[in-house]
């Protein structure tokens, strides 16, 4: 339906897990933890990745927030939330590896 396009799938607000793509990171190209099935992006429309950090002051349904059910559920199984990253928070991102 999305022709293998991560961008098109995210624009449709699809939560995604396995995705064989490169990491969004400085330095040489390397596989994302999504390529290993060790990360999930949840509700990308409500929780966009924006360099410099998104404005998260107006909480609305579907948003991952500190102390919220979604963030706490992932933490209960040992997964980290990208919304806690200091440089460029990634509020949609949860991972088993912390990256």
Residue 48's pLDDT is what?
81
Nearest-angstrom CA–CA distance, 72 and 52? 24
Nearest-angstrom CA–CA distance, 33 and 18? 9
pLDDT tens digits, 47-84 = 887 766 666 777 888 899 999 999 999 999 999 999 99
Of 71 and 20, which is predicted with more confidence?
Answer: 71
0.75 exceeded by pTM:
yes
Beta-carbon contacts of residue 73 (< 8 Å; ≥ 6 apart): none
Quickly count: other Cβ atoms within 10 Å of residue 33's Cβ.
18
3-state secondary structure 1-59: CCCCCHHHHHHCCCCECCCCCECCCCCCCCECHHHHCCEEECCCCCCCECCCCCCCCCC
């Amino acid at each position: 339906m999305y022709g293998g396009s991560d961008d098109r799938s995210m624009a449709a607000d699809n939560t995604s897990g396995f995705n064989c793509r490169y990491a969004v990171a400085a330095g040489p190209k390397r596989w994302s933890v999504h390529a290993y099935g060790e990360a999930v992006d949840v509700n990308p429309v409500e929780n966009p990745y924006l360099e410099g950090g998104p404005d998260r002051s107006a909480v609305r349904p579907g948003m991952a927030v500190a102390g919220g059910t979604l963030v706490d559920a992932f933490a209960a199984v040992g997964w980290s939330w990208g919304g806690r990253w200091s440089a460029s928070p990634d509020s949609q991102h949860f991972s088993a590896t912390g990256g």
